């Protein structure tokens, strides 16, 4: 499957920077997989028959939730693209219901980065792009937001 940006590039336009949603979208799935594994190990450590069954059922249910969150996180990352070309900023989300945002670089007034403490440690954050006559667009939880901002503001 071709990337969205490759389908919409204009003649002479080059991709300067690409980023994606940060892997933090997998965090609920990671926690759920750890809990499912802990419940499974606990079921093997106990000798009380009712507790073994309870731990196994709990492990299975949590593993199903973890699988759902894993697929959901993967699908979000798979269907989200954020690129900077020599002419514009392009952000696309969604597969069936697609939402795109494009802004010419010469219309960009400012680029703001918002990072939490965890975002600074793990290098993710929200980027708000303000355009002259174009409005305001916020891109949530992208990887390397400072590098993304630099790729927009450096010409």
In the block, residue with structure tokens 């708000």: 128
What's the whole-number average pLDDT of the chain? 93
Mean pLDDT (whole number) for 136-143: 93
Residue 13: closest CA among 81, 86, 106: 86
Query: What's the Cα-to-Cα distance from 63 to each of 19, 26, 135, rounded to whole Å?
Result: 30, 14, 43
Q: What is the pTM of this model?
A: 0.82
The C-alpha atoms of residue 116 and residue 148 are separated, in whole angstroms, by: 17
Joined together, the tokens standing for residue 103 give: 């802004």
Is residue 107 within 8 Å of 132, Cβ to Cβ?
yes
20 CB-near residues (< 8 Å, 6+ apart): 77, 80, 81, 82, 142, 143
Q: What is the mean predicted confidence (pLDDT) over 11-34?
A: 94
| Residue 35 reports pLDDT greater than 90 | yes
Q: Does 134 have pLDDT greater than 80?
A: no
Once rounded to an integer, what is the mean pLDDT over residues 107-129?
95
């Amino acid at each position: 499957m071709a990337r969205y940006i490759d389908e919409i590039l204009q003649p002479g336009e080059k991709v300067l920077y690409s980023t994606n949603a940060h892997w933090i979208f997998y965090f609920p799935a990671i926690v759920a997989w750890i809990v499912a594994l802990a419940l499974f190990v606990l079921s093997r450590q106990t000798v009380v028959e009712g507790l073994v069954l309870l731990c196994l059922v709990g492990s299975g249910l949590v593993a199903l939730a973890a699988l759902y969150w894993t697929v959901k996180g993967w699908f979000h990352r798979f269907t989200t693209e954020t690129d900077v070309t020599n002419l514009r900023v392009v952000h696309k989300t969604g597969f069936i219901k697609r939402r795109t945002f494009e802004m010419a670089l010469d219309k960009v007034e400012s680029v703001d980065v918002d990072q939490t403490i965890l975002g600074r440690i793990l290098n993710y954050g929200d980027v708000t792009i303000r355009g002259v006559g174009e409005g305001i667009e916020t891109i949530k939880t992208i990887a390397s937001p400072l590098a993304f901002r630099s790729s927009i503001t450096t010409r």
